[in-house]
Amino acid sequence: MDGRAVFVWQNHAPPRVQMFMWLLTQRKIQSRTNLLRRHVLPDATCEVCNEADETPEHIIGGCTIARQFWDKIGLGSMKTSSMEAIHNLSPPLGMPSQGFSAFLALACWQLWKTRNAAVFRNEFLGLNQVIAACKATARQWRCRFPRRKRGIVDQWCLFLDLAN
């Protein structure tokens, strides 16, 4: 089985987040570069930072808030990772390796939602707000884990507290 498939479909993220991650690992999320290629938009410049074309990699690792987020949690390698190879990343120091794919899904999902808030509602969230949203979502996802593994989510929250 493809490593990306295992990474996406065999974690405890909700189905809609798994679907998002599948599209992300295929580089098929609705980024401006993908919409430009289909002649839906006239240009691909990121509306959030206006620094580069909005590719899937830019949204998740290259945009200002994404770079700050990954630096803060000690996973700077996300800033240069191809979304097609995200399944090969290792957890940062202090992060449990078990459930790491779900943590990455959580973080990518929150960065996607942060981008959408800026683009569609003109709401620009700060780094502390993104980290707080990750923690709140992690707590909601806790019940998706088997009882014996729910402590993983508690470790994520502690990890995010220390990063914040």
**How do residues 39-85 score in pLDDT, each as one tens digit?**
999 999 999 999 999 999 999 999 999 999 999 998 888 888 889 88
- Backbone φ and ψ of 136, nearest 5°: -60, -45
pLDDT attached to residue 64: 95
Which pLDDT does position 40 carry in this prediction? Answer: 94
Spatial contact of 102 and 11, defined as CB atoms under 8 Å apart: yes
Task: Give the pLDDT of residue 1.
Answer: 58
Q: What is the pLDDT of residue 32?
A: 97
CA–CA separation, 7 vs 5, rounded Å?
5
Determine the pLDDT at residue 138: 96
Cα–Cα distance measured from residue 71 to residue 52, given in angstroms and rounded to the nearest whole number: 19
pLDDT tens column, 44-56: 999 999 999 999 9
pLDDT of residue 79: 83
Domain ranges of the chain: 3-163
∠33-43-67 over CA atoms, to 5°?
A: 55
Q: Is 13 helix (H, G, I), strand (E, B) or coil?
A: coil
Which residues of the chain are under the pLDDT cut of 70?
A: 1
φ, ψ of residue 53 to 5 degrees: the values are -70, 145
**In the block, residue with structure tokens 């709140």:** 136
- Per-residue pLDDT, 162: 87
